[in-house]
Amino acid sequence: MLALLGLGLSACQPDLEKDFEPSNGTADFSNYIAVGNSLTAGFSDGGLYLEGQQQSFPAILAQQFATVGGGEFVQPLFGAGQENGSGYLRLANIVNGLPVTASVNTNLALRQGATAARPLYTKFTGQINNLGVPGIRLSDIETAGYGSVLGNPFFERITPDAQATQTYLQRVAASNPTFFTNWLGNNDVLGFATAGGAANSLTSVADFTDKNSKVIDALTATGAKGVVATIPDVTTIPFFTTVGPSFRTTLEAGKVSGLVIQTGAAPGGATSANRKPITTGDIKAVDGTGRQLFTLLSSPFLPLVGTKTGRPWRYVYGQSGQPAAGFPLFLAAYGIDTTAAFGVSAGNPIPSLFVLDDVEQGQVRTATNNFNAAIKTKAAAKGLAVFDANAFFSTVASNGLVVNGVNNTAGFVSGNLFSLDGVHPTPRGYAVVANEMIKVINSTYGAKVPTVNPTSYRGVKFP
């Protein structure tokens, strides 16, 4: 009887694993190639650095693909002693409940002679699977010289010297994937949006559609299967949602009924069309009322509203990279009077760089919708899986996302999903992206790729 009991005990442990055997379905993960921009590279906290690379969503996907026949996945990782890559932001302190960030600029991967202002990074020219290039727009993929020292330093970094004129599209075409992810196009709206419509341009729909088609054709030329992702609605990211609500509360408390902002990028003085009065109630609040969005970068300057100051304009001009001597000309071109009260007078409006106003939002939204239509149409024609990042992040913005009992939101710092730049995900955000991609891969290709536990990946790192 005791022997029987012993037997019973050892047989007692339930075996569930056989119910959840991973399988690759109809997909072949042996050579997975990741195509995209900063999101694909693992950019986080305003920079590309080793930890972000190691927890990029393609790296997480590749780790999971390894359970179903996935092959080696090489990323252009920053090496020892250069692990901080381009440099990044860290959370230095919380003062009065507000985050204070500081730059990490030691152990960078800058090449001899390069500067942080015009960086060139230590080369990584071997065969790689993660072709994510921070900053690349879909409109850039056929630009010869984009990988040269005058082009994009992140693409230059992974471009072999012998092929300095190779375009991004050519690089993709030569990658010979059996499976791919493609998430290009964010920067075709993002640069315009984060500059408050004051810089950069929106890519034309025709150009976007054409180049999206070309990159998908290149990836599927040898029959590869893959996932494409849509472009999220950038107006719900912390970069645009963090500052405005508290600013509005401050203005209301101070009985400031309205502001004057600058809109667009066109020069012109106090009476020109680039001045735009807005009411305080038109600043978008947490409850969804109001429309105007203030960028994260405006935060240090908003307390100056009502004072006579030129500081915001020196910052804006500084961003242009032009010689300091040109500052008076810049002020003259835009009719800025730094002796007028900042933010509440047409003579000294809030710079366009700091506000994505309702008109600009409309432009961004229209472009995003058109681009996403192009992405989905092409994916449908090729039978590819689609991760609708736009729909997903909209849901996260309105409802939050609970995974394994842990609450995450689209909030800044405390939300766990977005890093300190307010735009790019944290490692947990990337893990969530990887899981969403796995879900559409599984449903499209009849695969059973296991997801990861996003809770094991960190949100914002605290001091």
Burial class (CB in 10 A: 0-12, 13-18, 19+), 200: middle
Q: Which of 3, 20, 80, 162 binds another protein (CB under 8 A)?
A: 20
Q: Which is nearer to another protein, 17 or 287 (CB)?
A: 17
Q: Which is nearer to another protein, 147 or 429 (CB)?
A: 429
**1, 14, 18, 62 from 7: Cα distances, Å:** 10, 14, 21, 40
Q: Which of 17, 255, 288, 321 binds another protein (CB under 8 A)?
A: 17
The reply on whether position 102 binds another protein by CB under 8 A is no
Q: Which of 8, 126, 288, 321 binds another protein (CB under 8 A)?
A: 8
The reply on whether position 253 binds another protein by CB under 8 A is no
The residue count of the chain comes to 463
The reply on whether position 287 binds another protein by CB under 8 A is no
The reply on whether position 67 binds another protein by CB under 8 A is yes
Nearest to 247 by CA among 171, 326, 301: 301
Q: Which is nearer to another protein, 257 or 456 (CB)?
A: 456
Q: Are 268 and 277 in contact (CB under 8 A)?
A: no
The reply on whether position 98 binds another protein by CB under 8 A is no
- Whole-number minimum distance, CB 110 to another protein, in Å? 27
The reply on whether position 455 binds another protein by CB under 8 A is yes
The reply on whether position 288 binds another protein by CB under 8 A is no
**74, 85, 256, 463 from 51: Cα distances, Å:** 15, 10, 44, 16
Q: Which is nearer to another protein, 257 or 453 (CB)?
A: 453
The reply on whether position 14 binds another protein by CB under 8 A is yes
Helices (H) and strands (E) in the chain, counts: 15, 12
Nearest to 441 by CA among 136, 51, 174, 57: 57
Q: Which is nearer to another protein, 141 or 437 (CB)?
A: 437
Integer Cα distance of 346 and 123 in angstroms: 48
Q: Are 355 and 196 in contact (CB under 8 A)?
A: yes
Q: Which of 214, 365, 382, 458 binds another protein (CB under 8 A)?
A: 458
**Window 202-241: residues binding another protein (CB under 8 A):** none
Residue that the structure tokens 């026949």 belong to: 69
Q: Which is nearer to another protein, 304 or 391 (CB)?
A: 391
Q: Which of 63, 289, 366, 456 binds another protein (CB under 8 A)?
A: 456
Q: Which is nearer to another protein, 163 or 398 (CB)?
A: 398
Contact mark string toward another protein, 416..445, x via CB under 8 A: x------------------x--xx------
CA atoms within 13 A on the CB side of 446: 2
Q: Both ends of the chain: CA-CA distance in Å?
A: 60
Q: Are 260 and 276 in contact (CB under 8 A)?
A: yes
**Window 401-420: residues binding another protein (CB under 8 A):** 402-407, 413-414, 416
Element (H, E) at 401: strand 401-403
DSSP per-residue string spanning 175-242:
T--SEEEEE--THHHHHHHHTTTSSS-PPPHHHHHHHHHHHHHHHTTT--EEEEE----GGGSHHHHS
Taking contact as CB under 8 A, which single stretch among the options 10-18, 80-88, 149-157, 304-312 is the one that binds another protein?
A: 10-18
Q: Which residues in this chain contact another protein in the complex, by CB under 8 A?
A: 1, 5, 8-9, 12-17, 19-22, 67, 94, 402-407, 413-414, 416, 435, 438-439, 448, 450-453, 455-456, 458-463
